[in-house]
Copies of this chain bind each other. A is one copy, B any other.
Amino acid sequence: MKKFVNKPDRFVDEMLEGVLAAYPEQLASCSGNMRNIVREKKGDKVALVSGGGSGHLPLFMGYVGEGLLDGCAVGGVFQSPSADQIYEITKHVDSGKGVIYLYGNYSGDIMNFEMSSEMAEMDNIKTAHVVGNDDVASAPKGEEHKRRGVAGIFYIYKTAGAAAEEGADFDEVLRIAEKAKASVHTMGVALSPCIIPEVGVATFSIGENEMELGMGIHGEPGVSRTTLKSADAVTDTMMEAILADAPLSPGDEVSVLINGLGATPKEELYIIYRRVAQTLASKSVKVFHAYVGEFATSMEMTGFSISLCRLDAELKRLLAKSARSPFFEQAQL
């Protein structure tokens, strides 16, 4: 196992010790549990809370910050955080204006966030759920409720986070989050697996000259395994799948997210972005802003995902607003 670790069962907690040591002015933990990450300064606003398994940095806790999330429940590697964690964070971040949960479509997460909602209700804390399901490869059109949430959740955080930060009320922030969720579609590809420290072996095996299209961020099977194609050919296949699912018309405006899964060099992500930009230009679709880098990883997995988020004037304005966490900074666009 070619990893820098100490005791594998301490992987998540030592990582959190590092994060909390690095950003004492921005992040804190609450209720005596280091895995319950919150902003250092509590806001008087609708609160946004996420959570999920570790191993995806900057997902999920990397988006706790100004103009983004208020809290995040951190699970073990690829494991859901507990309902108690989510509930404790909910109590900490609520200012009386309610708490909206934004998380990915995984059964463990859904169960625990729902359980937390029930506990919060007894404390008269209003909650709502927006479950990211942007991965078009994980279930066919018409069965969107079965799709996994992957990197596209970034757009939900960013736009709902901006709305909450500027004082929008509960229903309004929820409406924005739902709109962003409906506007983003993603597809991924992987060339190599990652290693869960406590397991110590690769999450899947794949040939030296193979790629898996549509693979999930935990190594869930994709839609096809083929020989590795050129960057342009891979990108074209993925764009065709996304655009077949969520067609764009001339004059439409989008934001593009090219997300590295861990080991893929930034240089290659820009080669891919180049091809995406060419394809969108050929369809007279305008790119408002491009994000290229690591936004949702699978530790040292090689691969990337493409997300397209269709923008109207409202989402565009919110996406453009400044945001600041230790893992993601954006000046006003």
Contact = CB atoms under 8 A, between A and B. Distances in A.
Secondary structure type dominating chain A contacts: mixed
Contacts of A6: 230-232, 271
A25 B122 CA distance: 50
Please give the count of copies of this chain that the complex contains: 2
Given A262-B265, A297-B266, A324-B331, A234 B4 contact: yes
A292 B22 contact: yes
A143 interface: no
A105 interface: no
Interface string A171-210: 0000000000000000000011010000000000000100
Interface stretch (A35-43, A51-59, A84-92, A149-157): A51-59
A25 to B, nearest CB: 9
28 contacts: A2-B208, A3-B265, A4-B191, A4-B264, A5-B230, A5-B271, A6-B230, A6-B232, A15-B267, A15-B270, A16-B270, A17-B270, A18-B273, A19-B270, A21-B273, A21-B274, A21-B277, A21-B290, A23-B290, A54-B267, A57-B267, A57-B270, A58-B266, A194-B265, A263-B302, A265-B300, A293-B327, A322-B331
Interface of A: 2-6, 11-12, 14-19, 21-23, 54-55, 57-58, 191-192, 194, 208, 228, 230-232, 234, 262-274, 277, 290, 292-294, 297, 299-300, 302, 304, 322, 324, 327, 329-331
Question: What 3 A-B pairs are tightest by C-beta distance, nearest first?
Answer: A18-B270, A18-B274, A263-B263
